[in-house]
Amino acid sequence: MSHTRSGTAGSEAPATGETSLGDSLGTFRRQQDILTPAELAGMSVDIVGAGALGGAILLCLCKMGFGITNTLTVTDFDRCEAHNLPTQWFRPSDVLMDQAKVDALAEMVGWVCDRPITTACDRFRGDESRRLGPVVILAVDSLRERQLIWNNLRNREDVQLLVDARMGAEVLEIHCLDPRPSRRGTTRPAGPGTREFYEESLARPDEAFQEPCTHRGILYTTLGAAALVGSILRAHAREEDYPRHLVFDFRNFILLAHGEGHGETQF
């Protein structure tokens, strides 16, 4: 079951397109030549995973202006645990109360952005009966979970952009593609941004993403990942070029892969 939370105690979440006081006072004036909330109308986003990566991405998107003229939905079945505190977006009190991650995250976003977030404390499978996206961001823990989600998403026509962000210790990998069956083979030969390229990445995971539990993550990597995902969505909204496959090594400051593509979907 999903519900919408503004994160502000006792207040009702504004309807999609309705602005808060801060938004009405020109909050986004300094970025108006880069991206405005008006350009995001209809570009609703489903974020799958409310952990370190999903939380950082959600906060980044809210600060960019998402959630004003579109809808932000976060799905995760997990609950807050103590070992998540250094990298995830909730408080020690959320751990003590056994709070659902999506609820703790929505409350935090409400405090810093005054933005309504639709949450679902459930396992996302990709075969949900509701309309998804049109943008879906995967920020889940395992390759197996990605495979299960992809097996359902690959047959849908409502998801127009899939962004799969993977974090292994200090190495980030991002895949971007239009997964719609009707678009298969119509945009470019097999390569970054195609269903074939993405499916191959699910079948043969890189060794860089198989890390021991004491070497899985640190906050600055997820913040960097969120910045790159935010930049990709900005470019997509403005129909500008952006990489369809990106691998970056934060420890060694090396761009390991960069596959070009073009954001051409109309919302």
Residue 4 vs residues 58, 118, 162: alpha-carbon distances, Å = 15, 4, 23
**254, containing H or E segment:** strand 254-259
Integer CA distances (angstroms), 263 to 36, 41, 142, 215, 232, in order: 17, 16, 27, 34, 9
pLDDT band at 188 (very low <50, low <70, confident <90, very high): low
Percentage of the chain surpassing pLDDT 70?
A: 81
pLDDT tens digit sequence for 97-119: 999 999 999 999 999 998 999 99
- Rounded to an integer, what distance in angstroms lies between the CA atom of residue 128 and that of residue 86? 32
At residue 71, what are phi and psi to the nearest 5 degrees? -115, 140
d(CA 69, CA 92): 33
Spell out the domains of the chain, with CATH numbers in brackets: 2-19+27-259 (3.40.50.720)
Q: What is the pTM of this model?
A: 0.87
Q: What is the pLDDT of residues 217-243, one digit of tens each?
A: 799 999 999 999 999 999 999 999 999
